[in-house]
Amino acid sequence: MLPSTLPLFPLPNVVLFPSVFLPLHIFEPRYRQMVRDALAGDRMIGMTLLKPGFEADYEGRPPTYDVGCAGLITHAERLADGRFNIILRGIDKFAVIGEEEPMSDVLYRRGLITPLNESVGAADRAPLHDARGKLEALLAPVLEGQSVDKHLPPAMADDDLVNALAQYLDFEPLEKQALLERPGPLARCQSMIELLEMRALILRTQGERGGHVH
């Protein structure tokens, strides 16, 4: 169960998915404070993606996408200079419905959040398993011998595998955000299939054009 408020960790290129692990290096003073506070409490932080154009106000409170994922700090290593290496495990999706007013002694942002349920209903289990098979077939030539393989134990639940692939595959941050916002693992898997089929079509088209150049 998520709390009603979460410390927010907005980044420009990282999207966290439920049940997936994410290593992070924490070096900015505001986020060092955030990790210290989280470790002293429930060990949860909320990952959100910064919207394009964040650079102009990066040190302030630039806009983020409304849908994020809560992460539990499962491992933390505090370095001598105060930086941290941490590992997050994605817990649940949430929507940011507002932010707490800034406080002078709190350097980071705190979001008012509501959880977003992603449990797989009985009616979705068979279609999700079928979609997983199609996704794995599409990826077989891509994954062979690549590092993403080591993140995926051979026996993973369908929804966990879909979420892991959404995080580990080489999608653009905005594509990953769109995948996170999909309403559950089945829709997310279907969207990944569409993305991969589109990429394959583009590559095939480029190859055919290249083959006709003399």
Same domain, 11 and 97: yes
Tokens encoding 128: 């999700």
* Look-up of token digits 């054009």: 209
Query: 99, 116, 133 — which closes off a domain?
Result: 116
Where does residue 101 fall: left (phi above 0), alpha (psi -120 to 50 degrees), or beta otherwise?
beta
Same domain, 105 and 50: yes
Same domain, 144 and 190: yes
Residue 112's domain comprises 5-116
Could you report the per-residue pLDDT of 77-115, keeping only the tens digit for each? 999 999 999 999 999 999 999 999 988 899 999 999 999
Same domain, 69 and 52: yes
Query: 54, 86, 116 — which closes off a domain?
Result: 116
For residue 156, the tally of other CB atoms under 10 A from its CB is 16
Tokens encoding 43: 């060990």
Could you report the per-residue pLDDT of 143-165, keeping only the tens digit for each? 655 555 555 666 889 999 999 99
pLDDT of residue 214: 43
Question: Which parts of the chain sit beneath pLDDT 70?
Answer: 142-154, 207-214
Same domain, 21 and 109: yes
Same domain, 129 and 171: yes
Tokens encoding 160: 């966990």
Nearest Cα to 70, choosing from 31, 108, 109, 15?
A: 15
Q: Looking at the DSSP assignment, which residues form a beta bridge with residue 194?
A: none
pLDDT of residue 139: 86
Decide: pTM greater than 0.85. yes
pLDDT of residue 208: 65
191's CB contacts (< 8 A; 6+ apart) are: 178, 179, 182
Total number of domains constituting the chain: 2
Rounded Cα gap, residues 185 and 202, in angstroms? 26
Nearest Cα to 133, choosing from 112, 158, 153, 97?
A: 158
> 154-157 long-range contacts, Cβ below 8 Å, gap at least 24?
none
Rounded Cα gap, residues 134 and 136, in angstroms? 6
The CA-based diameter of the chain, rounded to the nearest angstrom, is: 67
Query: 116, 149, 172 — which closes off a domain?
Result: 116
Same domain, 104 and 141: no
Same domain, 11 and 109: yes
Same domain, 110 and 137: no
Contact predicate 33/71, CB 8 Å: no
